Structure 1
Amino acid sequence: MAVPAARIVFDDADRAAVAEAVTEMLGTGALTLGPWTQRFEQSFATEHGASHAVAVASGTAALEIVLRTLDVRGRDVVVPAVTFYATAGAVLHAGGRPVLADVDPDTLALSAATVEAVLTPDTAAVVLVHIGGLVSPGVDALAALCEARGIPLVEDAAHAHGSSFQGRPAGTFGVAGAFSFYPTKVVTSGEGGMILTESPELRDEARIHRDQGKGSFGTNHHVREGASWRLSEANAAVGTVHLRRLKEFVETRRRVAGRYDAALTALDGLTPVLEPPGSRSNYYKYVALLPSGVDRAEFKRLCAEEHGVRLSGEVYDLPLHHQPVLSAHRDLRLPVAEDVCARQVCLPVLSDMTEDETDQVIDAVTAVHRRLAG
């Protein structure tokens, strides 16, 4: 039996519900910005305790739209060095300058200290990323720092559907949160993104930006430099159906993670990124750090070829300042980011993972660790 790196879960009832929705929308001809988009927005906002939600074409678009509404053009935006390129890319596309900061080794996220070290008089925003779905307990201190400096805090919550800290959902700690619905996410719409905010003004601006900058849906009067960032009704229907299973999926993933915690902490030198007190992760990713000197490619090869376990993609194997497209930042020295990106692996966590699959992963990682690090 092979354990895949990821598995997209739609059961028979989910597929039937999506098919019914598609039949409905094809009959009405409402294929974009229609009732399913509104349902998806309302359901996602309710699930995360937010007042407003705006559905858009991708998580990257969600983040760029938020940054455009904050008008970061020509100014600095702090982002962590440990994140997907899209975090910095959204800054660049919104006209800002990404300023890369190091991260906390326990959460792989920005902290108040790492952000304060890179703030400038021209800082327009700070983007906090919840890596793997973990909301750092340092979020309150970071939010307080941003408030004291008059700098908007934005959450890149692409990984964090259903995650929280001290009962407060991801996406509600800053001026806005940006989520992704890429197929591998805990909840997917196929492609898509969502903006959460408490600000009706930011909500209204986001709606304008997502529809080519039009002042209203039925006119061709363009008042902002927007783009085609709409979410189709078909995607919205898929997302609405999948969202109904978020709590179930998260509970399954948390059970798997709990078993990984117990097993991996017994392996000398292999360090799981553990959930801090107060944090409740959705375990989009289960991150562990290999011992220094262990060849990650060989570790993954042995897990796959000898044990049938494919480890999922790292988050991330390169820090942003080592990405070729961001070569202007290559001379930065961000030691924590460089270390964790070099050593991390992600164990498969599936929304319908079985006990046998979990056992197989634990046995594989244990055997390969003993072989390479023993």
Structure 2
Amino acid sequence: MGVPAARIVFDENDRAAVADAVAEMLTTGALTLGPWTERFEQAFAAEHGASHAVAVSSGTAALEMILRTVDVRGRDVVVPAVTFYATAGAVVHAGGRPVFADVDPATLALSPETLAAALTPETAAVVLVHIGGLVTPEVDALRALCDQHGVPLVEDAAHAHGSSHDGRAAGTFGLAGAFSFYPTKVTTSGEGGMVLTESPELRDEARIYRDQGKGSFSTNHHVRLGYSWRMSELHAAVGAVHLRRLKEFIEARRAVARRYDSALAGLDGMEPVLEPPGSRGNYYKYVALLAPGVDRAAFKRAVAEEYGVRLSGEVYDLPLHLQPVLAPYRRGPLPVAEDVCARQVCLPVHSDMTEDETEQVIEAVSAVHRRLAG
């Protein structure tokens, strides 16, 4: 049996709960901005120890509306080069200019040094990304640096549902956090996103932006240039049901990660991105760097063809400053980002992964890496 790159887990009870919710909303006709959206928002905020949550159509929308509320138009926004396109795309769509910063190779996140190097007199905001669901232990130092320069820290927590540092949840270190519920995330609503914040003003702005910029749901008075960024009730119900299993899923994923940590510790040349002290990751991704000179394509092909193990894509194979569509914002090389993006792979981690599957991955990765690293 092969090990897939990702597996989406809804058991019989989950499916029954979603079916009941769908029957309820189809009976009542409440299909958008109804009771399930409110339930999901309240549950997600409570899970992360936050005061306010606003459910929206995607993690990208969540990030863009935060940046629109901050008003980054015509100004710079620092983003790490190692992240998904949407982190910078949201900046551009909000009217800002992304300024790419290098990352710490130990966490794949901004460090105080790389952030300081990227700050400009025109910086309007800084976006910190929690790659793979790991929160950098320097998050407080990054927040302090932002405060010192009078700019808000925004968290792209698309990977980080339930992750924390020193007991504080991802998405609560800055002005606001943006989460994604894309199907492969640790918990999903199918499609969707969430804004998390302590600011009632930002909460209110997010509610306005998600509903075409209307001042209230029942009027046609448009006070912002909003979008159709609503989360449907169907998606909210799926998300609310799946969220109930977040702690269980994280424990399962952490158990897999611990076995990977032990196995890879004895593998010469491969460098796992380890959980930093004080941080507690959800292991949305388990990232490891191949030894320099190992052909990644050949490595992935060998583990798939010889052992039936599919690796779950790189996070990420091309840093943002080298993405063709973002070329106008390129300012120069970022050596750490370029190195880690060239060498990283993600080992499969599923919320219901079996011991046999974990051992199959370890056997495949160990054998192929030893052969190719020679």
SS in 2 for 1:195: strand
Aligned equivalents of 1:370 and 1:262: distance in 2? Answer: 16
Aligned partner of 1:170: which letter? A
The answer to whether the 8 A contact 2:106-2:273 is kept is yes
Show CA shifts across 1:40-95 (max 9, x none).
00000000000000000000000000000000000000000000000000000000
Equivalents in 1 of 2:113, 2:40: separation in Å?
37
* Contact 2:97-2:329 at 8 Å conserved across structures: no
Partner deviation per Cα, 1:228-262 (whole Å, 9 max, x = no partner): 00000000000000000000000000000000000
In 1, Cα distance between the equivalents of 2:233 and 2:343? 41
CA distance in 1, matches of 2:54, 2:194: 6
SS at structure 2 position matched to 1:358: helix
Instruction: Name the structure 2 match of 1:135.
Output: 135
Alignment of 1:369 onto 2:369? yes
Alignment of 1:214-363 (within 5 A): 214-330=214-330, 332-363=332-363
Q: Which amino acid aligns with 2:358?
A: T
The residue matched to 1:117 in structure 2 has which SS? helix
Shift of 1:146: 0.5
Q: How many residues align?
A: 374
Shift of 1:371: 1.1
State the percentage of identical aligned residues: 81
> What TM-score do you get using the length of structure 2 for normalisation?
0.99
SS of residue paired to 1:155: strand
For residues 187 and 331 of structure 2, what CA distance do their matches in structure 1 show? Answer: 37
The 3-state SS of whatever aligns with 1:98 is strand
Distance, in Å, in 1 between the alignment partners of 2:313 and 2:303 is 14
Matches within 5 A, 1:111-150: 111-150=111-150
Deviations 1:197-227 (A, max 9, x none): 0000000000000000000000000000000
Partner of 1:193: 193
Match of 1:9 in 2: 9
Distance 2:362 2:64 in 1: 39
Indicate if the aligned counterparts of 2:56 and 2:230 stay in contact, CA closer than 8 A. Answer: yes
What SS does structure 1 have at the residue aligned with 2:300? helix
- 1:86-101 paired onto structure 2 within 5 Å: 86-101=86-101
Distance 2:334 2:87 in 1: 17
Question: Cα RMSD over matched residues?
Answer: 0.6
2:68 is the alignment partner of 1:74: no
Deviation at 1:285, TM superposition (A): 0.2
Residue type of the alignment partner of 1:312: S
CA distance in 2, matches of 1:161, 1:262: 25
Alpha-carbon distance in 2 for matches of 1:160, 1:332: 29
SS at match of 2:118: coil
TM-superposed deviation, 1:329: 3.9
5+ residue gaps, structure 2, are none
Aligned letter for 2:356? Answer: D
Q: Distance in 2 between matches of 1:204 and 1:238?
A: 24
Please tell me the residue identity of whatever aligns with 2:102: D
TM-aligned CA distance change 1:199 to 1:330, over 3 Å = closer
Runs of 4+ in 1 over 6 A off after TM superposition: none
Find the counterpart in structure 2 of residue 209 from structure 1. 209
What stretches of structure 1 of length at least 5 have no aligned partner? none
In 2, distance between residues paired with 1:255 and 1:118?
Answer: 37
Which amino acid is 2:135 matched to?
V
Write the distance in 1 (CA, Å) between the matches of 2:66 and 2:2.
41
**In structure 1, what is the equivalent of residue 41 of structure 2?**
41
Matched to 2:286, the amino acid is Y
1:329 & 1:359 partners in 2: Cα distance?
44
Instruction: Give 2:141's aligned amino acid.
Output: A
Q: Which amino acid aligns with 1:171?
A: G
SS in 2 for 1:42: helix
Distance 1:178 1:254 in 2: 23
For residue 331 of structure 1, report the CA deviation from its aligned partner.
5.4
Code of the residue aligned with 1:161 in structure 2: it is H
**TM-aligned CA deviation for residue 330 of structure 1:** 4.5
Amino acid at match of 1:22: V
* TM-score computed with the length of structure 1 as normaliser: 0.99
